Amino acid sequence: MTRYTPVYGTISSITPLKTSALDHSCSILISVMSQSLGQVNFVVNPNTYVLGQHTFKEGDPIIAIYDTSAPVPLIYPPQFTAVMLAKNEDGFQAMFDYFNEDLLNTDETLKLNISDSTNVLLPNGQTFFYNPGGHYLLVLYLFTTRSIPAQTTPQSVIVFCSE
């Protein structure tokens, strides 16, 4: 099973995250209405990667990715700490996972076919010039084949290089 899971939906509210009356933290709470999960809250902190450094507003379509192995409070609506966020105007699917040198993800459910039209970038927006395999990748794509594993030619790939 993939460690990171995407949630697709529309932002219903954005509020500062306060744990006390005197709290002025750098975190916000983004509430998302998802067709599959209903209302879901995401804590967005300074460590959350936001594709294109987009500033979100209510009504924006969004992809929020969270770590399924991170602890979560047992509350309703569910509340996760967002690992990544992306505006999703074009109806993309997303996956954040480790892809090996053959561009196959960890649970072998998705294989990437990189083409000349695929944007392969670093998190800072600069071009990545090598095979993106062997790294954690944020992959945005529209369609996959029905094969096993599913294959896709992604629109964008963000390469997270480890030091």
Q: Given this model, what pLDDT does residue 163 score?
A: 63
pLDDT band at 111 (very low <50, low <70, confident <90, very high): very high
**Listed residue (30, 31, 34, 28) closest to 7, CA to CA:** 34
Per-residue CA distances from 21 to 24, 55, 79, 115 (Å): 9, 25, 21, 52
User: Which domains does the chain show, CATH number per domain?
Assistant: 4-87 (2.40.50.140), 93-160 (no CATH)
Q: How far apart are CA 70 and CA 49, in angstroms?
A: 16
Spatial contact of 11 and 56, defined as CB atoms under 8 Å apart: yes
Q: Is 59 left (phi over 0), alpha (psi -120 to 50) or beta?
A: left
Beta pairing partners, 93: 141
Q: Given this model, what pLDDT does residue 162 score?
A: 79
The set of residues, in sequence order, having a beta carbon less than 8 Å from that of 149 and lying 6+ positions away, is 104, 105, 108, 109, 110, 111
Question: pLDDT digits over 61-105, tens only?
Answer: 999 999 999 999 999 999 999 999 999 989 999 999 999 999 999
Question: pLDDT digits over 12-42, tens only?
Answer: 999 998 766 666 788 999 999 999 999 999 9
Question: pLDDT digits over 127-155, tens only?
Answer: 999 999 999 999 999 999 999 999 999 99
